[in-house]
Structure formats: C-alpha cells, structure tokens
Amino acid sequence: MENQPRGDVSRGSSSVTAQTVLGGAADAAEAASNSRVLDVVARWGFAVMALLHVVIGAIAVALVLGASGEAEPTGAIAQLAANPWGPAVMWSGFIGCAGLALWQLSEATLRARHLPRGERLSKLVSSGFLAIAYGSVGLTFANFALGVRSDSGDSTAAFSQDLLNRPLGAPLLIGLGLTVAGIGVYFIVKGLGKKFKEELRHFEGTHRGHLISGLGVAGHIAKGLALILTGLLFVVAAATNDPDSSTGLDGSLKALRDHPFGPYVLLAIGAGFIAYGAFALVRARFGRM
C-alpha cells in the first residue's frame, strides 16, 4: 500500500486538531451556560418579562376605558421608572434581560447543536429571535436608567423608513413582518396545544396546575394575536410604502379601538397579557431551564 503524502497527513491532522479544539471550547462554553449563576439571572429575567406583560396588559385595559399610555415594553418600563426606586429597578431589569438573552442565545447555539438538523434550525430561529427580543428590552431598561427615552412607535417607524430606503428594503420588511406574524401563530398553536406544559411540570395533575394551564392558554393566545397584528403592520408599511403604518405593538393595539368590536378584542388581549404575565411568573420560579 502506498504511503499517504506527508502534506495530506499534516493537513488532516491539523483539521482534526482544530475540530477537537473547537469542540472542546463549545463544550466548555455550554458548561458555563449551565452554571447556577446564569440560571438565577435568567430566571430573574423571566420574572422581569412577566412583570412587563402584566403592566402592558393593564395599560391595554386602561386604553379601553379611555386612559392614555403606551401598551408595549417601552411604555411599561416608563411606568416602572416613575417610582422612587426607578434607577435601581431599571438596572435590575437590564441585568435580568441581559442574562435571559444570553441564556436564549446558548439555547439557540450551544445546546441546539445536539439536536437533529431540522430541530436545530427551528431552535436557532425561535431562541435566536427571543435572544434579540430580550436583549432589546434590556437595552431599553439601560437607556431609561441613563435618562435616554424614546417613543417606540416613532422608533419602529424610523426603522421601517430606514429599511425601505435600502435596496430590497420592501421585501426584507415584508419578510420581517411575516416572521413576527409567524411567531405569533406559533404562540397561538403552543397555547391551544398546551405545549408550554413541557416547560412547566411542577404542578401537573393538581388543581393549581389546571389554573396555571388556563393562564398559559389565554396568555399565549393573547400574545400570539398581538404579534400577528404587529407583523401585519410591517407588511402593510412595506406594501403601501408608508413606514408610519408600522407603529409597533402599541399602535396595533390602539388601532383596534377604531373598529366595531375592537374595544372588546383589546380588552381580551389586555386580560390575556395579564394572564401571560402571571403564567410567566410561575415559569420563572418553577420552569425547566
């Protein structure tokens, strides 16, 4: 048998060594992502998001009664920043959301690498999107702590305008809108199918578990509907070349008030957000990480 050329052997050995080093680094990073510290901080992030959903739901209900407010994360954070402990609450929220974003990022990459290819791609999209979303909320907390505030509707419209001014901007904005709406559909399917029970088995089979399950169903459906409305506004903005149409969650919910049964739908979504917040609070304490 002929000997393999020394150059090929050297390159093959280098490739195996590189793969071994990268694999070891990924294993070490995954072990770090499973640390007790990150677990606690990520759970705190879930609790922060739960509180934001409750506040957003309360603002949505108040809108039906004629009150003012912004029914989206920025508006909810503004409400929390108004209390005497505002700066401490803001930095605490930032830390929790940053930890939760990091945990979701590890879910999308480090832990997903052990899954089959199809599930890996699905996890990359879902957890990757959540990592970006939680990171964005964390930055909003940090901005409020530093005294930098902005209207989310204006920010969303400005983002849409900037995207529409770029090559292929309209298709990209439509793709973004359909992605957000698709995640909304995912939340509804997850709620109706009670698939969230995979994340929370602590109370399964108990009377308390039935109540938590009901909160989970109502909350996931309400959040899904809100995301679908938000995503459709991106699509409308791209189709009509009117970036002002994409006003984010607050604008999509306020637009419901102008329709015949809109206030009732808005009231239901607001109540659903409060239910989701209550469910998420239980998830923060007892959920599987």
Nearest to 60 by CA among 47, 46, 75: 75
Which one is predicted more confidently, 33 or 159? 159
Predicted TM-score (pTM) of this structure: 0.79
Tell me the average pLDDT of the chain: 81
| pLDDT at residue 86, as a whole number | 86
Residue 36 has pLDDT above 90, yes or no: no
| pLDDT at residue 188, as a whole number | 93
| pLDDT at residue 85, as a whole number | 87
Weakest mean pLDDT among 26-30, 162-166, 228-232: 26-30
Residue 275 has pLDDT above 90, yes or no: yes
Give the N- to C-terminal CA distance of the chain in Å, as an integer: 54
Q: 137 near 90, Cβ under 8 Å?
A: no
Residue 273 has pLDDT above 70, yes or no: yes
| pLDDT at residue 240, as a whole number | 83
Residue 255 has pLDDT above 90, yes or no: no
pLDDT in tens, 198-240: 777 666 666 777 888 889 899 999 989 988 988 888 888 888 8
| pLDDT at residue 99, as a whole number | 93
Burial environment of residue 1 by CB neighbours within 10 A (0 to 12, 13 to 18, 19 or more)? exposed
| pLDDT at residue 165, as a whole number | 82
Residues 6+ apart with CB under 8 A from 119: 112
What does the pLDDT average to over 71-81? 88
pLDDT in tens, 127-155: 888 888 899 999 999 999 998 876 665 67
Residue 166 has pLDDT above 70, yes or no: yes
Which one is predicted more confidently, 182 or 123? 182
Residue 83 has pLDDT above 60, yes or no: yes
| pLDDT at residue 52, as a whole number | 94
pLDDT in tens, 182-203: 889 989 999 998 888 777 766 6
CA 46 – CA 58 distance, rounded (Å): 18
